[in-house]
Every structure is written in structure tokens, then in C-alpha cells.
Structure 1
């Protein structure tokens, strides 16, 4: 097996309403850099993938299920599979999301012709 490596800010980006997503996937695990601008919302959604989010810089409000959290650099949160969640970026922010299993839906959108 060949080792994969990249500089996260240089990964190909997928623009979605509220963020730019830069996924990096292995066989069964995916890490994604997400960049949001102050005031941008990331709409409520759910997926079957388990997720852990780590805030690297900035501040955001995140709803997981019924609970709202205000998060800053160094904060980490677990999002269980199929639990609705959403984000409002309070400041320009960079977060990393880990997913299991790999979010093939995002990888396919990233590679889809424009």
C-alpha cells in the first residue's frame, strides 16, 4: 500500500452553502478540513456516518440534536450517526471533521464534472 499525504489547505475543495470542504480519505476513515466565513450557516443535516469535529481556529455555534454548543479553538464534539446537526460560523473558522465510514457522497460530489 502506498502512503497518502497532503497539505490540508491545498486539498481540492467542494463548495457547499456555508463552507468549503476539503476531504482526505483512507479506506475506512475520512478526515475533512472545513473552512467557514463569519456569519455563514451550514444547514441542518444528518448522515449515517459517525463524526467527530475539532475546531482548529475561530468560533462557531453548533447544534447536535437538541443541544446548542458554542465552540472555539481546541474544542471537540462527537456527532452520533443519523443525528441532525448544523453550524453557524461566528468567526472565520477552520474545523476538522473525522468520519467513519468514509463519506463517499462527498467524494463523488468533489469529483463530479461541473
Structure 2
């Protein structure tokens, strides 16, 4: 039987990590890399004390903590994320994360063209969608 058009299967071990803030991120599928307007799927790992800067995304972000613990700060509140914690952040909500365990591993799906990734040469407008 032929593989359905567009179907892709990747092994996480085959994806080289890149630096994102204090974290290592393995991007499995990315619209910026693929030239399409879909979501990014990534596994991000951070060590104790790793922090992000405040940022937001033009579309929802969903995450699932696979290992460890972190503090999510959003909307003036602090949320303790543990293994099995799932989060949905609405568009435009500034947030930060700080790792409080020896290691934190999270899988995330979000718009690839967030405010941190968009630059003046980006082919994507501010709403994250291709023209």
C-alpha cells in the first residue's frame, strides 16, 4: 500500500536540537521550514533555572509537560506545571516559564511565527498566516 500523500513520520532522536532562550528545542514540524501556514510541533528541554523571556503567540499555544516541573507566569498568576500538566494559552497572552526541577521536558504546538520569531524579513504577517 502506498504512503498517503503528505504523511510524514519522524523520530525525535533524529532531530538536532537548537537553542531557544536557556532551553534546547527539537522542532519536529515547522511552517517556517516548510513554507506553509500550519503549527509548529516541538519538544523543549530545560535544566533547573532555565528561563524564557516574556513573549506571546498570535494563535493558541498548547503544551504538555512530559517530565519535571516548571513555573508558568501568565496573566498576573503563577502556575506550577508538573508531569502530565496540559496548558492552553490564548493568542496574545504574554507568558514566561522557569524550570524548577533538575530537568523539564515539554511538548508544544503553536504558531511558528510568534513575536519572537517574526523579523522584518519574514514572509508572514503579524497574524502568523501567510498572505
TM-score of the aligned structures, taking structure 1 as reference length: 0.80
Moved over 3 A (4+): none
| Equivalence for 1:63 | 73
Instruction: Give the paired residue count.
Output: 105
Q: CA deviation at 1:37?
A: 0.5
**More relative contact order, 1 or 2 (CA 8 Å, 6+ apart):** 1
- 2:62 counterpart (49, 52, 60): 52
* Farther-moved stretch of structure 1 (10-19 vs 88-97): 10-19
- 1:25 counterpart (20, 24, 29): 29
More strand per residue: 1 or 2? 1
- Larger-Rg structure: 2
More helix per residue: 1 or 2? 1
Where does the alignment leave 5 or more consecutive residues of structure 2 unmatched?
31-35, 118-131
Post-superposition Cα deviations, 1:43-93, rounded to whole Å, max 9, x if no partner, equal 111121310111000000001222210010000111111110100001101
Tell me, in whole angstroms, the C-alpha distance in 1 between the residues paired with 2:6 and 2:56: 33
C-alpha root-mean-square deviation of aligned residues, in Å?
Answer: 2.0
TM-score of the aligned structures, taking structure 2 as reference length: 0.71
